Amino acid sequence: MHWSKQGCTCPHRAGSARRLCGAIGLMLVAMAGCASPAQALAPPQQMAFYADLRDKPLGQRVMPAGPAVIDWQHQINLKYGQDIRPVAAGADHPLIPVVRQVVDELPPQIKRLAERYLLALYLIEKDFGSGTTEAVRSPDGTWRHAYIALNLTELGRTANAWATWKERSTFRDAPGYDLRMTIEDDAQDTVAGAVRFILLHELGHVLGLGLQAHGFWDAESLPDATRDSPYLRISWAPTADGHMKSHWRREFPLLDALNFYSFGEAELSLDRAPKVYEALAGTDFPSLYGATNVFDDVAEAFAIYVHTRMLGRLYRVQVYEHGELRTEFRSCIETGACADKIAALERLLDISSGAHGDADGTRAVARAGGRR
């Protein structure tokens, strides 16, 4: 899905942007605002804004947002027709230690990459949506860094409740049908689990830009890094009008009807879900959400890779009809079914296949199946 404004192409904003955020936490989102390089940048879009943070450990970059970030978040909201001005998270907010713990427990090699490209993790309240990732321009004009803002007001559901809410949002209700998504076992089904997956998805956007799995999403024309990306060309191809089109579009047209965060207004009803997941299983997309656009393909693949293959956690979607299991979907990232995409991601992250546990202290997971 694509959205254009004043001649610039913003495919990320249409598919995963702020409306994904809905009531509780999204996996991500939109960045800078279709500003051309000639336009004046807000202070949080400029590298100099982070001069005091770049050399600090990642955990010390987690903080309540200051006035300049609040001002910019307000401007972003206005771009979506929402006159909502967030506030800085209170220093005693109960989720602050949860976020810090999630950051502290990232696998070491992922934390090192985050320290290189994530300039700050700002904590806010009363925002529109649950999270944003915003690009930051370097003095040489390149866009390789970013900050993340998490809206703590909306981060209150446990992991499986949040994941189910998000996944169901692309289907209208249908009599007798139910959908459940599981990303944590019962013992780990906590708010921290939801925060972790949301943060991993957002980090996928940060590292996708930083490691050049794609270029700047708000560029006036399709960047070479996006057009020529070894990762993206596995599933996508550039079009004459400067967008990226899925290789699977003709074979599986149902996937073109995905519209997350639509709920009762969704084009697809839940009784179509078995066919939708059957189609998804025939592709190399990491998830239903990852099939919507190139940026979420990268972010979802990264999040699911770390979540399942490095941390040994669950990822499955189950569709029921009158209480009976009709369909179960597991990501090809977890099962190993999209080997080319996994290899491209590992090259991007400089992670050796099968070496996820010993040297870095993370849990090794069998490549063929992961943990059910």
The answer to whether 150 touches 127, Cβ cutoff 8 Å, is no
Per-residue confidence (pLDDT) for residue 130, from 0 to 100: 78
Q: Which residue intervals of the chain are DSSP H helices?
A: 11-16, 67-79, 96-104, 108-117, 159-168, 191-210, 224-227, 273-281, 294-304, 332-335, 339-349
Tens digit of pLDDT at every position of the chain (372 positions): 222 222 222 333 333 333 333 333 333 333 333 444 446 899 999 999 999 999 999 999 999 999 999 999 999 999 889 999 999 999 999 999 999 999 999 999 999 999 999 999 999 999 987 788 999 999 999 999 999 999 999 899 999 999 999 999 999 999 999 999 999 999 999 999 999 999 999 999 999 999 999 999 988 899 999 999 999 999 999 999 999 999 999 999 999 999 999 999 999 999 999 999 999 999 999 999 999 999 999 999 999 999 999 999 999 999 999 999 999 999 999 999 999 999 999 999 998 665 444 333 333 332 222 222
* Contact (Cβ atoms closer than 8 angstroms) between residue 131 and residue 28: yes
For residue 9, what pLDDT is reported? 27
State pTM to two decimals. 0.86
Give the angle subtended at the CA of 66 by the CAs of 3 and 85, to the nearest 5°.
Answer: 50
Considering only CA atoms, which of 29, 122, 44, 46 is closest in space to residue 80? 29
Q: How far apart are CA 123 and CA 101, in angstroms?
A: 14
Strands 62-64 and 244-246: unpaired
Distance CA 333, CA 331 (A): 5
